[in-house]
Amino acid sequence: MYSTQPPLLSIITPMFNAGSMFDDFMQALLAQTLTQMEIIIVDDGSTDESGERADNYAQQYPHIRVIHQANGGVSRARNAGLAMARGKYVTFPDADDTMNPAMYQTLVEMAERDDLDAAQCNAEWFFKASQTTKPLIPLDRLTSTAVLSGPEWLNKALKTHRYMHVVWLGIYRRELIEQNNLTFEPGLHHQDIPWTTEFMFNAKRVRYTDQMLYRYYLHDASISNRKRTGQRNVEYQRHYLKIAQMLEEINARYRDKVKIYPAFHYQITREALSVCHSIRREPEESARQAMIADLFATQTHKRMLRNARGARQWYQLLLWLSRIYRWRNK
């Protein structure tokens, strides 16, 4: 039975044409051992029957609410869910993933016991083609932690080179989000990266468990797994250029409040270097030149130089910049 008490956790899930995995996802949520929770599904203008399927669940279960809105992307959908949330903590799973039945009870108990602003866990990749799994963060890279400050935890996590800025990896204190007016950037792919960075800069108490409680399904339809070329690739890489800029701005805003570890600079150059890799893989010459032009127009070449840390990254950066200068149409 679900509790009539105010929810401890609000589960906020954007959904657009959810597809065949939606019922598996909902069953995983309904199987959760945590009872003091609410589920907010934001139907982001689905053009199939996803919205009706979500409404059917809401009619059956009083702790499920559905918001229907015009298609505006994941960020706007998460912001709409946040505006309705009543839980002490919030989380944002994807509508085509699943989780361990004890996931949210485990994280809420951690947060309540240690007065945490965030509790995060490990996850596993599930490769649909081969039906195999592997840990997101290997145990030889990172094990469960004691209570750390947000910047200490983010530094430790980034240094594994396996951590991902994904909001489905944990639960987050809603009061902290509201106090700092943290919202997801509309229209930005991978908006989790600046959001989690800024959240952690404000978090005083965070803990991580190495239990793999979330399963992320890798399949051809995944937005982060699509192969793009031509103009679509040009537009997609602009998101990474914007993220690098946002991360540098966050570092500048918080430099007098928190310790800006080398890893916080390193991640800026790493995100921007991903654009360089895409330039090399792009088959269309006009698209390659457009991406190179964007990189210089946004001053990303200077941003990478300002933020590179460590001998290996410096080597990679100088190698890539020399290639980019060589490929650039003067």
Domains in the chain: boundaries: 9-223, 227-327
Architecture category of domain 9-223 in CATH? Alpha-Beta Complex (3.90)
Question: How high is the pLDDT of residue 4?
Answer: 66
Question: How high is the pLDDT of residue 225?
Answer: 44
What are the C-alpha distances in Å from 210 to residues 67, 124, 145, 217, 311? 33, 11, 8, 19, 30
Read off φ and ψ for residue 215, nearest 5 degrees: -115, 120
Residues forming a β-bridge with 127:
132, 218
Give the length of the chain: 330
CB of 75 within 8 A of CB of 2? no
CB of 13 within 8 A of CB of 81? yes
State the Cα–Cα distance between residues 120 and 92, nearest whole angstrom: 12
For residue 222, the one-letter residue type is S
State the Cα–Cα distance between residues 301 and 295, nearest whole angstrom: 7
Query: What is the chain's Cα-based Rg?
Result: 20
Per-residue pLDDT of the chain (330 residues; tens, 9 = 90+): 566 678 999 999 999 998 888 999 999 999 999 999 999 999 999 999 899 999 999 999 999 999 999 999 999 999 999 999 999 999 999 999 999 999 999 999 999 999 999 999 999 999 988 889 999 999 999 999 999 999 999 999 999 998 989 999 999 999 999 999 999 999 999 999 999 999 999 999 999 999 999 999 987 555 454 578 999 999 999 999 999 999 999 999 999 999 999 999 999 999 999 999 999 999 999 999 999 999 999 999 999 999 999 999 999 999 999 999 999 986
State the Cα–Cα distance between residues 309 and 311, nearest whole angstrom: 7
Question: How high is the pLDDT of residue 158?
Answer: 95
Question: How high is the pLDDT of residue 227?
Answer: 75
Question: How high is the pLDDT of residue 19?
Answer: 80
Question: How high is the pLDDT of residue 218?
Answer: 87
